[in-house]
Amino acid sequence: MIIRVKPDKTGVVTDGVKHSMNPFDEIAVEEAVRLKEKKIAQEIVAVSCGPAQSQETLRTALAMGVDRGIHVEISGTEYDTLQPIHVSKILAKLAEDEKADIIIVGKQAIDDDANQTAQMTAALLDWPQGTFASKIEKLNGELHVIREIDGGLETIKVKLPAVVSADLRLNEPRYATLPNIMKAKKKPLKKVSPKDLGVDTTARIEVLSVEDPPTRQAGVILADVDQLIIKLKEGGHVQ
């Protein structure tokens, strides 16, 4: 199946599409479960903001070992224009309500690649942040977050509470198994609305147009470099 742009150019067609968890978020879930298995964390709460189908995603997280879920229901046009700023406000509010010590998020969603939620959430809460974590350790009441940077590895120390975002090599997420899927059905899943949390999710952006990428033009085989230069000049690619 091919991704198609809606006729009114407001987005892509998503009818009948199966929702699944963002791969970076999956890594975040796995890390949280491992923290709990190492008895560093006591309880894990998974949060998903989106339409009713988000609950399926939360169930997957519960089956991976999360203790309870909070579904922040946002649907229709509001969901279409939901931005990291809104999600950050929701997370910040929930973190305060739940008295969370660590917020772990995926470094970015793979649909919009925004890569803003961790940073904004930390700013809103005025907590330290450890983004793009490829390893997390808890030493002397602090978190040591190792990040892959251009020059090598960077280790930063953050005091708790803190916000961490998961990079690709942090871990390899486990698969949910039937016994755990069955256990997950008994775990609590709470539904709230952004209004309950006092977060305004009114759109801050307006989508003007979503376009298909231009179709690729057929190539031609040229005899020699001179021909190539002529063609490039004709096309205005070189001067």
Q: How far is the CB of 154 from other proteins (least distance, A)?
A: 22
Give me 6's structure tokens: 């809606």
Q: How far is the CB of 157 from other proteins (least distance, A)?
A: 15
Q: How far is the CB of 144 from other proteins (least distance, A)?
A: 13
Nearer to other proteins (CB atom), residue 151 or residue 179: 179
Q: How far is the CB of 102 from other proteins (least distance, A)?
A: 4
Task: Collect all residues with Cβ–Cβ distance below 8 Å to 129 and sequence separation of at least 6.
Answer: 118, 119, 122, 158, 162, 163, 164, 165
Q: DSSP string covering 86-108, please?
A: HHHHHHHHHHHHHT-SEEEEES-
Nearer to other proteins (CB atom), residue 4 or residue 233: 4
Nearer to other proteins (CB atom), residue 113 or residue 224: 113
Nearer to other proteins (CB atom), residue 61 or residue 146: 61
Q: How far is the CB of 10 from other proteins (least distance, A)?
A: 13
Give me 13's structure tokens: 């067609």
Nearer to other proteins (CB atom), residue 9 or residue 233: 9
Residue ranges of alpha helices (H) inside 148-217 are: 178-185
Dihedral of the CA atoms 177, 100, 74, 185 (nearest 10)?
30
Closest CA to 147 of 156, 138, 159: 156
Give me 17's structure tokens: 């599409």
Task: Give dist(CA 200, CA 82) in Å, integer.
Answer: 11
Give me 180's structure tokens: 């755990």
